[in-house]
């Protein structure tokens, strides 16, 4: 009544001398009676099924109305209680129909709202009008990596510690790597190559975002040796996409530029996420373990490669830089994609810088890493977060693992050497990075 509903209740309406059967029939047949709520507790359900007393008569009236008329929205059972097993007390004629459950104090408010909405024919969930078919149905079907099911299974397994987590992650990574071939592009000479490459990279975005979510879950819940091995094998499977396939007799130098960007981005995210969650030993194993190169005949080098293979030059974007007037359109695209994904770009910067330092600490001439994103760090005035924290010697001992275990003193000497050789420092026109600033070298490991 307080909710604006005029209630006709037998205790209020039936007086001495009134015909109870006529009253019950009126509740069913009177067009002014919009709704009938059947308060079905244990006694009511028993009397209804046994056709006992007034409830039995009422049941005969209602059940005929319920079964003979298509519009069954006039009646609803309301439960004030359940049996010892938690089952509802409902008369046989009503079973299988939806009811309103006021038996639980925890759900009373929401169920009472359902009751009021039922009376006023204002359901909470309203079927929307049928709109026009979306325009994308008329477009060419988008490429699919085919990872949707394995992605959800892997993510659930990682977050909830399922016993099949290793198999689920392995299935996802294997499907991902094998189906990358679907994104191989055949350049159209009538269109600008860099635009075709950029379009392919954009089309791959949902799968990059899937990988980021799986990588975040691995870093948080399963940063163990088995996961490191699975990730290592995964990146090994991606290396062949950076080369000409054996069945391809000719190529343009930019035919694989979309793969060069995608593989580089995935590797950068993997290291960035591991740094974000301080999985330094895990990162070190990923960087230190050689990668088997199955397409080594094309490379003409050893059968194994280092992490530096995951960043390769993109010829098509050299022209894009000139066209857009940018120092690095590749770095711009990496930043835009990070910003739109919700993952803080600063971690990609730190990963790129760490990879650059680790490569320059290596004596092997072929181990080189161009820190693409650091064009955004050329005007930094303070150390990156992991190096700011490395003011503590104990913290630096952990960070040093991702740098190959180099001591603080050796890193200081190395950074000073980098800064004295300006020609070797990464630069974009007149912009250069300052390794001493980015590492906070003067205060590195200066406190316990």
* Cα→Cα distances 381→256, 309, 352, 435, Å: 37, 31, 18, 11
Q: Quote the pLDDT of residue 390.
A: 96
In whole angstroms, what is the distance from residue 227 CA to residue 385 CA?
26
Q: Quote the pLDDT of residue 26.
A: 74
Is the Cα dihedral 392, 398, 403, 405 positive or negative?
Answer: positive
56 pLDDT higher than 70: no
Range name among 63-77, 309-323, 335-349, 419-433 with the lowest pLDDT average: 63-77
pLDDT in tens, 271-293: 999 999 999 999 999 999 999 98
Q: Quote the pLDDT of residue 205.
A: 95
In whole angstroms, what is the distance from residue 239 CA to residue 290 CA?
12
DSSP notation for 328-371: -HHHHHHHHHHHHHT--HHHHHHHHHHHHHHHHH---TT-----
Question: Where are the domains positioned within the chain?
Answer: 10-120, 145-367, 378-448
Q: Which CATH number fits domain 10-120: 3.20.20.70, 3.40.50.300, 3.40.605.10, 3.40.50.10140?
A: 3.40.50.10140
pLDDT in tens, 388-398: 999 999 999 99
Average of per-residue pLDDT across 77-100:
83
Q: Quote the pLDDT of residue 409.
A: 96
Range name among 55-59, 77-81, 154-158, 228-232 with the lowest pLDDT average: 55-59
Q: How many CA atoms lie within 13 A of 167 on its CB side?
A: 3
* Cα→Cα distances 324→20, 192, 254, 327, 328, Å: 86, 13, 18, 9, 9
How many CB atoms lie under 10 A from the CB of residue 396? 21
53 pLDDT higher than 70: no
- Among 360, 344, 363, 345, residue whose Cα is nearest residue 403: 360
Range name among 319-323, 348-352, 413-417, 433-437 with the lowest pLDDT average: 319-323
Q: How many CA atoms lie within 13 A of 113 on its CB side?
A: 6
Q: At what angle do helices 329-341 and 193-203 cross, to 10 degrees?
A: 20
68 pLDDT higher than 60: no
User: Between 59 and 183, where is the model more confident?
Assistant: 183
Average of per-residue pLDDT across 97-110:
87
Q: Quote the pLDDT of residue 196.
A: 92
pLDDT in tens, 397-413: 999 999 999 999 999 99
50 pLDDT higher than 50: yes
Range name among 14-23, 106-115, 362-371 with the lowest pLDDT average: 14-23
Q: What are the structure tokens assigned to 363, written together?
A: 């004596």
- Among 72, 70, 47, residue whose Cα is nearest residue 59: 47
User: Between 87 and 64, where is the model more confident?
Assistant: 87
In whole angstroms, what is the distance from residue 197 CA to residue 185 CA?
8
Q: Quote the pLDDT of residue 89.
A: 85
Triad 348, 353, 356: Cα angle to 5°: 125
pLDDT in tens, 16-40: 877 777 777 677 777 888 888 888 8
Contact 414, 359 (CB under 8 A): no
Q: How confident is the model at residue 65 (pLDDT cuts 50, 70, 90)?
A: low
pTM of the model as a whole: 0.70
425 pLDDT higher than 70: yes
Range with top average pLDDT, 121-135, 183-197, 296-310, 434-448: 434-448
Give me the chain's average pLDDT, please. 87
Edge to edge, what strands does the sheet with 100-101 contain? 36-39, 75-79, 100-101
User: Between 211 and 73, where is the model more confident?
Assistant: 211
pLDDT in tens, 292-345: 987 544 455 568 899 999 999 998 898 898 889 999 999 999 999 998 888 999
In whole angstroms, what is the distance from residue 47 CA to residue 28 CA?
19
Q: Quote the pLDDT of residue 55.
A: 54
70 pLDDT higher than 50: no
Q: Quote the pLDDT of residue 67.
A: 47
In whole angstroms, what is the distance from residue 194 CA to residue 254 CA?
9
pLDDT in tens, 184-243: 988 888 888 889 999 999 999 999 999 999 999 999 999 999 999 999 999 999 999 998
């Amino acid at each position: 009544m307080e909710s604006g509903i005029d209630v006709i209740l037998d205790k209020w309406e039936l007086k001495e001398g009134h015909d109870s059967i006529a009253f019950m029939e009126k509740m069913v047949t009177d067009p002014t009676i919009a709704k009938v709520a059947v308060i079905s507790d244990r006694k009511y359900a028993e009397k209804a099924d046994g056709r006992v007393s007034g409830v039995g008569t009422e049941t005969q009236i209602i059940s005929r109305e319920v079964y003979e008329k298509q519009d069954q929205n006039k009646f609803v059972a309301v439960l004030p209680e359940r049996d010892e097993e938690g089952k509802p007390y409902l008369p046989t004629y009503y079973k299988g129909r939806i009811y309103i459950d006021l038996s639980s104090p925890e759900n009373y408010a929401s169920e009472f709202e359902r009751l009021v909405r039922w009376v006023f024919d204002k359901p909470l969930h309203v079927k929307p009008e049928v709109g026009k078919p979306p325009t994308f149905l008329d477009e060419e079907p988008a490429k699919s990596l085919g990872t949707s099911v394995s992605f959800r299974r892997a993510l659930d397994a990682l977050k909830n510690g399922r016993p099949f987590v290793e198999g689920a992650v392995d299935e996802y990574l294997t499907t991902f790597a094998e189906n990358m071939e679907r994104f191989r592009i055949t350049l159209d000479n009538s269109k600008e190559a860099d635009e075709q490459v950029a379009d392919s990279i954009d089309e791959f975005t949902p799968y990059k975002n899937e990988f980021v979510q799986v990588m975040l879950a691995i870093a948080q819940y399963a940063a163990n040796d088995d996961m490191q091995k699975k990730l290592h094998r995964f990146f090994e499977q991606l290396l062949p996409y950076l080369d000409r396939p054996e069945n391809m007799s000719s190529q343009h130098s930019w035919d694989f530029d979309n793969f060069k960007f995608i593989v580089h981005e995935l590797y950068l995210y993997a290291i960035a996420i591991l740094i974000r969650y301080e999985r330094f030993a895990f990162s070190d194993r990923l960087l230190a373990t050689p990668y088997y190169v199955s397409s080594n005949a094309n490379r003409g080098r050893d059968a194994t490669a280092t992490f530096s293979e995951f960043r390769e030059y993109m010829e098509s974007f050299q022209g894009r830089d000139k066209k857009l007037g940018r120092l690095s359109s590749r770095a711009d695209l990496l930043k835009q994609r990070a910003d739109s994904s919700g993952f803080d770009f600063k971690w990609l910067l730190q990963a790129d810088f760490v990879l650059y330092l680790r490569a320059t600490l290596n004596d092997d001439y072929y181990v080189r890493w161009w820190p693409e994103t650091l064009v955004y760090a050329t005007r930094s005035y303070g150390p990156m977060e992991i190096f700011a924290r490395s003011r503590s010697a104990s913290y630096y001992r952990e960070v040093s693992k991702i740098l190959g275990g180099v001591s603080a003193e050796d890193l200081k000497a190395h950074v000073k050497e980098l800064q004295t050789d300006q020609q070797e420092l990464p630069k974009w026109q007149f912009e250069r990075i300052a390794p001493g600033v980015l590492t906070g070298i003067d205060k590195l490991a200066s406190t316990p």
